[in-house]
């Protein structure tokens, strides 16, 4: 029988790596699921709700971990937690593999097979395991809801006997998974939405959501998407044209949601301090790229500041602020991944180490870091 351990997260992380639904499916696959008491509390998954679906509630973290074959976490576990598992156990979590190299090496030294969920290849077979998408989607939603709350004015147009309240203008910068959900959410709230990106494929997506597409559409724009579907860093010449376009557009905006990222690089600076100076007092910027340096020059990661009457928020874990949904989706991502590694008939672990999704996520095995990109630090 395969034993799966789930322990509580630390540092205010409200998410958890299983849900009642995935406990049921995992026990159905013949796994024993040991969950540390209270681990689901931040996501409103009570011990009793998890136990009702077959989870074994452990009185402590060490009790859940002891001799387990698999550890499921949201964030990187401690080396102590991993050492308590069976030798060579599997750890699946958002490991932040490019951060804290010494800590990662200490985890690797335990001999566990460390799998970083954020490195999941973006192939169609792995869509159900794509944690970046499941979490970014919720972050895009929450960014708009939070911005609307900070805005202090109504978002939809309202025609009343006492006069008309104008609709708020919402500008979404970066139209990946988070940006698309931000557009959809802002439209549902009744905002007048515009959006920009450097990848031509986004033009149609923006239009299909009923928003206006704004971009510098030159020759470079036509080539801005990599084979993997991501944006390329843009030339200084393109950036200059983009600044001019954004500067003229942003002046009239009430809410700006920025989500622009380039893999392995700092977030592109799309909003200069001088542009913020031209914005209306009461306007709100929510910078989802804060963790990677921010798309706005004035963003302070993890803080909400005010500059000349403009609120600039740089939240760090927005998906974690919608924990019930974030945990449910993340747990489903993990379940889909584990299903590929468990022999359903014999009820044992059978990992195909040559599988693209295993190779893509495997950061460390047999005591050393094995992932080529992580080894290169890129």
Residues in touch with ligand NAD (CB under 6 A): 122, 127, 130, 132-133, 136, 173-179, 196-199, 202, 229-231, 234, 259-263, 268, 270
Whether residue 141 lies in the annotated active site: no
- DSSP, collapsed to helix, strand or coil, labels residue 82 as helix
> Which of these is catalytic: 98, 230, 292, 321?
230
What's the closest the beta carbon of residue 230 comes to ligand NAD, in angstroms?
A: 5
First to last CA, the chain: 38
> Which of these is catalytic: 15, 19, 43, 130?
130
Whether residue 330 lies in the annotated active site: no
- The values of phi and psi at residue 39, to 5°, are -60, -30
Whether residue 133 lies in the annotated active site: yes
Among residues 98 and 230, whose Cβ is nearest to ligand NAD? 230
Beta bridge mates, 170: 193, 255
What's the closest the beta carbon of residue 73 comes to ligand NAD, in angstroms?
A: 22
Among residues 270 and 284, whose Cβ is nearest to ligand NAD? 270
Segment holding 93, helix H or strand E: strand 90-94
Among residues 216 and 341, whose Cβ is nearest to ligand NAD? 216
What's the closest the beta carbon of residue 99 comes to ligand NAD, in angstroms?
A: 17
Which residue has the CB atom at the shortest distance from ligand NAD?
176
CA 335 to chain centre: 17
Whether residue 127 lies in the annotated active site: yes
Residue count (the chain):
378
Pairing of strands 284-287, 255-258: parallel
Euclidean distance between CA atoms 237 and 197, whole angstroms: 16
Question: What tokens appear for 113 in the block?
Answer: 């097979």
Among residues 124 and 160, whose Cβ is nearest to ligand NAD? 124
Cβ contact 90:68 at 8 Å: no
Among residues 3 and 134, whose Cβ is nearest to ligand NAD? 134
Whether residue 135 lies in the annotated active site: no
What's the closest the beta carbon of residue 265 comes to ligand NAD, in angstroms?
A: 9
Euclidean distance between CA atoms 315 and 313, whole angstroms: 6
Q: Which position has the token pair 């750890």? A: 91
What's the closest the beta carbon of residue 15 comes to ligand NAD, in angstroms?
A: 19
Distance of CA 60 to CAs 41, 46, 186, 249, Å? 14, 15, 43, 54
Catalytic residues: 122, 127, 130, 133, 230
């Amino acid at each position: 029988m395969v034993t799966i351990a789930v322990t509580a997260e630390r540092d205010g992380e409200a998410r958890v790596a299983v849900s009642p639904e995935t406990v049921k499916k995992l026990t159905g696959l013949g796994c024993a699921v040991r969950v540390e008491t209270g681990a689901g509390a931040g996501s409103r998954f009570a011990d009793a709700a998890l136990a009702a679906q077959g989870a074994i509630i452990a009185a402590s973290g060490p009790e859940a971990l002891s001799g387990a074959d698999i550890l499921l976490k949201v964030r990187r576990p401690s080396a102590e937690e991993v050492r308590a598992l069976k030798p060579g156990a599997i750890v699946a979590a958002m490991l932040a593999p490019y951060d804290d190299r010494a800590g990662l090496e200490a985890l690797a030294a335990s001999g566990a097979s460390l799998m970083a969920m954020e490195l999941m290849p973006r192939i169609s077979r792995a869509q159900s395991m794509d944690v970046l998408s499941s979490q970014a989607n919720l972050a895009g939603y929450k960014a708009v809801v939070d911005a609307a709350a900070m805005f202090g004015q109504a978002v939809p147009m309202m025609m009343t006997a006492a006069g008309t309240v104008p609709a708020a203008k919402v500008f979404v910068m970066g139209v990946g998974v988070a940006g698309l959900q931000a557009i959809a959410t802002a439209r549902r709230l009744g905002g007048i939405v515009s959006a920009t990106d450097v990848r031509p494929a986004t033009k149609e997506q923006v239009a299909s959501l009923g928003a206006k597409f704004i971009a510098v559409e030159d020759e470079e724009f036509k080539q801005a998407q990599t084979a993997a579907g991501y944006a390329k860093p843009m030339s200084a010449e393109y950036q200059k044209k983009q600044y001019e376009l954004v500067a003229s557009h942003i002046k009239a905006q009430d809410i700006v949601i920025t989500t622009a990222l380039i893999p392995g690089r700092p977030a592109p600076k799309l909003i200069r301090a001088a542009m913020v100076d031209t914005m209306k007092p009461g306007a709100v910027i929510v910078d989802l790229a804060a963790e990677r340096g921010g798309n706005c020059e004035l963003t302070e990661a993890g803080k909400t500041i005010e500059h000349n009457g403009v609120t600039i928020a740089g939240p760090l874990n927005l998906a974690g602020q919608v924990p019930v949904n974030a945990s449910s989706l993340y747990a489903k991502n993990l379940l889909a991944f584990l299903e590929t590694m468990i022999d359903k008939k014999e009820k044992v672990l059978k990992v195909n180490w040559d599988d693209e999704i295993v190779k893509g996520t495997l950061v460390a095995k047999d005591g050393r870091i094995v992932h080529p990109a992580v080894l290169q630090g890129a």
